[in-house]
Amino acid sequence: MARTLAMFTDTSLCIGCRACQVACKQWNELGMEVPQWTGTYQNQPHFTDQTYRLVRFVEEARPTGELAWLLMSDVCKHCVQAGCLEACPTGAIYRTQYGTVDLNQEACNGCRYCVSSCPFGVVAFDKGPGTAKKCTFCNDRIQNGLGPACAKACPTDSIQFGFREDLVAKAQKRVEALKGMGVRDAQLYGADPRGFLGGLNAFFLLLSKPSTYNLPDSPKLPQRNVVADSLLSIGSGVLVGLGALLAFRGRGQGGGDA
């Protein structure tokens, strides 16, 4: 197993240029989309089958009365505990030797279970080929010693690419520096391997709480209840079976069988 690769998106450096969004579309040969009016410069309200990197423009009212304009290049989180991967019944979604989560277009049969299993709503269904689509962490690039297209294109190094431990260390230093400068709400999202989902291999530095960016504060693996739910189903089966047994063994016009 090779060392884990990661992307660290430092939103404090983002200028909202969307070079990452364009580079992603170009490298992955994604289709043109008619932008959906969101009331901001954001092109789409959320990830689509043709948008794997999406720059979010969030206006947050601060107590001082000012509006903070928060810019965030959002992407698939490549979760250490990935709901989409656990859901996929064909093995099309799998983890690469680098820890990233790839989606093999040849294996996908379009059941869409992954679409409903992402706590962030990342995976989208492409009606054209009938398969699911998401950021692959530029798998073809990383398998050839290159970094993701978005990281390459970012002019401010807001998106950094490297080995996970190195990036986490950098991120922690950066948060401390920001806090020292008075940015009290600076926080990491997904950097902690003991945190939610085992940590995210595409993690972030945010300038406000996650819900400001429409990110879940404490995302959970959707499949965490499989055992409990299955046991409850078995319990129901026992009850129903007993009922049927009672009905068929009970008082009839005499018993015995042939």
Residue 212 gets which letter from DSSP?
A: G
Among 5, 30, 124, 186, binds other proteins (CB under 8 A): 124
**# residues contacting other proteins (CB under 8 A):** 66
Q: Does 75 bind other proteins (CB under 8 A)?
A: no
Taking alpha carbons only, the member of 59, 112, 114 closest to residue 83 is: 114
Taking alpha carbons only, the member of 217, 174, 159, 166 closest to residue 9 is: 159
Distance, in Å, from the CA atom of 182 to the CA atom of 208, rounded to the nearest integer, reads 13
Residue 60: helix, strand or coil by DSSP?
strand
Nearest-approach distance from CB 38 to other proteins, in angstroms: 13
Q: Does 253 bind other proteins (CB under 8 A)?
A: yes
Residue 8: helix, strand or coil by DSSP?
strand
Taking alpha carbons only, the member of 105, 103, 91 closest to residue 136 is: 103
Taking alpha carbons only, the member of 197, 220, 217, 159 closest to residue 12 is: 159
Q: Does 130 bind other proteins (CB under 8 A)?
A: yes
Among 107, 169, 177, 181, binds other proteins (CB under 8 A): 107
Return the residue matching tokens 């989902």. Answer: 197
Among 67, 169, 177, 245, binds other proteins (CB under 8 A): 245
Q: Does 244 bind other proteins (CB under 8 A)?
A: yes
Among 54, 80, 87, 171, binds other proteins (CB under 8 A): 87
Nearest-approach distance from CB 5 to other proteins, in angstroms: 25
Measured from the CB atom, is 65 or 256 closer to other proteins?
256
Residues 214-243 close enough to bind other proteins by CB under 8 A: 214, 216, 222-226, 228-230, 232-237, 239-241, 243
Q: Does 141 bind other proteins (CB under 8 A)?
A: no
Measured from the CB atom, is 162 or 222 closer to other proteins?
222
Question: In degrees rounded to 5, what are phi and psi of residue 146?
Answer: -105, 165
Distance, in Å, from the CA atom of 186 to the CA atom of 193, rounded to the nearest integer, reads 19
Q: Does 83 bind other proteins (CB under 8 A)?
A: yes
Tell me which stretch binds other proteins (CB under 8 A): 24-32, 65-73, 112-120, 187-195: 112-120
Q: Does 31 bind other proteins (CB under 8 A)?
A: no
Measured from the CB atom, is 34 or 246 closer to other proteins?
246
Distance, in Å, from the CA atom of 189 to the CA atom of 69, rounded to the nearest integer, reads 19
CB contact at 8 A, 48 and 21: no
Q: Does 90 bind other proteins (CB under 8 A)?
A: yes
Judged on CB neighbours under 10 Å (0-12, 13-18, 19+), 34 is exposed
Binding residues for other proteins, rule: CB under 8 A, are: 46, 83, 86-92, 107-113, 115-121, 123-127, 129-132, 214, 216, 222-226, 228-230, 232-237, 239-241, 243-250, 252-258
